[in-house]
Structure 1
Amino acid sequence: MEACNAYYYATRDPLGEGGDFTTAPEIHQMFGELVGAALADVWLRAGKPGDAVYAELGPGRGTLAADALRVLRRSGFAGQAHLVETSPALREAQSKRVPEAAFHDSIDSLPAMPLLLVANEFFDALPIRQFVDGRERHVIVAGGHFAFDRDGPIFEDSPMRQSLAETLSWRLATHGGAAIIIDYGYAGGEQGDTLQGVRCHQYSYVLDHPGEQDLTAHVDFKALADAAGRGGAAASNIASQGTWLETLGIGARAMTLAAKNPQDTEAIAAARRRLCDEEEMGRLFKVMAVRSKGWPEVAGLSA
């Protein structure tokens, strides 16, 4: 999974109609603006530390960063933007939307400063392990094709996700700041096979087209919260994306945008439904904050 996704993301821009999937920031600006508003609010309540920086893990095309930073700048935030991205194709797109950004290959090289960090649909693409009856499932070659070596009831975990969450938590605990993690997944305890491939906006068998399709698996937010605790930071409640966005005021923002752009009223309403409705992204996608214990809670995610 790690090898396939490394090649996949390094060789293309996978987003949009001409790609394989669409993320929330690409649906409408309201998403990034509300993320930016939540970060601006927690920064203001933390006392407006002047050395704080914006950071994002896996920033896609830079759309979320551009929308969030626009709101942050209006609040008086003047910190630098730091993007953790390894794909040359996506770095090029990000540099057009956030030309002032500094790029990083990993979280380890982010500055030792308070972070206002976002990770949207980042953890789902990190590699997982699967176990059947307590034995790890492997990929083998059978009949000239990739195949799994065993089947049955599956349990998944992801040491890489937990390690990165613990590292992020340690940085927040040591230097201050808050992180907002948004992804599809579950609150904890669920079991089963969630590994999936997506190609041309359609589900695809995970062992087909190696390196030519997006491979993801549902995120165990409880495991991330536990890892954050081990790193010394505080994890928030886990909320559904729809509930969180509605709590932050996406309805009011949609009305304001529609009043200014009446010709876009229907498109704005459709975007809100796609982001918030339970049968769309609203329930499957979850939101959790991780913060330094010296920083206030992120709005809408009180523990």
Structure 2
Amino acid sequence: MNACLHDPRHGYYATRPGIGRDFITAPEISQVFGELLGLWALYEWQAMGSPAPARLVEVGGGRGTMMADMMRAIRAAGGGEAFTLAMNEASPVHAARQTNALAAFHPDFLGGFDTLGDAPFILLANEWLDCLPARQFLAKGERWHEQVVGLDEAGELAFGLAADAAPADSVPGAAHVQVDMQPALDTLVDVLREAFASAPGRALFIDYGTVQGAPGDTLRAFKDGRQVDPLAMPGESDLTVDVDFARLSRLAGAAGLHVSGPVAQGPFLLSLGAEARMQALIRANPDKAEAIHAGVSRLVDPAEMGSRFKVICLSAPDLPAPVGF
């Protein structure tokens, strides 16, 4: 999964990231998404005592749409000088787009997620956790075996099972015959724990996933807006898995972080003022009223993205609970 997504010569994100073609994300659906998150970040920075300097960080920022919307809202609220901007982007294609989209804000590009520095920060990541590589385990009797990728008799990629049973502690509490497990969630919590030991901060993650028990077999691939076989077009399709928010919450709590959520995206955005912002946009752009309403509805409607997507915030242990939870 990591090779298919991030190989520098042939990986999907390195060569042909397909926002708007293979998939679409919330910031591309409605500007309200990024604007509300910008105001959330500004409020939380103020709640931290308005420290200066402070960093506003986005991980996996795509075209830069969300951060551009965030900064526009922050500036409109009079907080334009509050932050230095930092982006962490694995895709050179997207990094180039972010450079152009955010030129007015002079962002720094972090060499790695673990280079947050020692200044207070607010970090956001939308649809980033789901592309962290996963391991899969399949139950055979009372034992678990890791699912692996190899070649079949025709020389084509195929799934198989490792001959040796997996250690019992390598499989999270499973309610399915097959489970996905993302080792990078452990690394993420370790990085945040070390960063919060140096400076106060919050990290907000928005993604699709489960809140009770490890996800089952959720590995999926998307190409040109349709779901395809994950092994059919390696490097040419986007690979994704559901995020185990329950496990992320347990790991963060065990590391001493303050955990808020997960909560559903719809109620979270509505609590931040999605309805009021939508009505203001409609009044200012009556000829686009239908499109504005459709976009916001897609974000908050439980039948669309409102309940499928979850929001979790991991904070330094001495900070109060953030708004929206």
User: How does the TM-score come out when normalised to structure 1?
Assistant: 0.94
1:8 lines up with 2:18 in the alignment: no
User: What residue identity is the alignment partner of 1:114?
Assistant: P
1:44-83 Cα deviation digits (max 9, x unpaired):
1111111211001100011111111222333424321110
How far off is 1:173 after superposition? 4.1
1:64 pairs with one of 55, 63, 66 = 66
Answer yes or no: is the 8 Å Cα contact 1:131–1:155 preserved in 2: yes
Identify the residue that residue 49 of structure 2 maps to in structure 1: 47
Q: Is 1:218 paired with 2:242?
A: yes
Judged with a 3 Å threshold, the aligned counterparts in structure 2 of structure 1 residues 230 and 72 are, in CA distance, closer, same or farther, namely farther
Provide Cα deviations, 1:186-236, integer angstroms capped at 9, x if missing partner. Answer: 113144101100111111111110010000000011111222224332110
Rounded to whole Å, the distance in 1 between the matches of 2:101 and 2:252 is 31
1:107 alignment partner, SS class: coil
Paired position in structure 2 for 1:145? 156
Counterpart among 114, 128, 135 of residue 108 in structure 1: 114
**Structure 2: stretches of 5+ with no match in the other structure:** 163-175
SS in 1 for 2:290: helix
1:89-112 deviation per Cα after TM superposition (whole angstroms, max 9, x unaligned) = 101110111121111231112222
Match of residue 209 from structure 1: 233
SS at match of 2:298: helix
Aligned residues: CA RMSD: 1.6
Which range moves more in the overlay, 149-158 or 88-97? 149-158
Greater shift, 59-68 or 167-176, is seen at 167-176
- Bigger radius of gyration: 2
Runs of 4+ residues over 3 Å off in structure 1: none
Alignment of 1:20-39 (within 5 A): 20-39=22-41
Q: Distance in 2 between matches of 1:78 and 1:95?
A: 20
Alpha-carbon contact 2:35-2:69 (below 8 Å) kept: yes
Whether contact under 8 Å (1:162, 1:223) holds in the other structure is no
AA paired with 2:13?
A: Y
Identity %: 39
* Alignment partners' CA distance in 2, 1:159 and 1:249: 35
- Paired residues in the alignment total 299
1:293 to 300, 306, 317: 317
TM-score normalised by L of structure 2: 0.88
Written as runs of structure 1 = structure 2, the 5 A alignment for 1:168-187 is 168-187=192-211
Mapped partners of 2:193, 2:115: distance in 1: 15
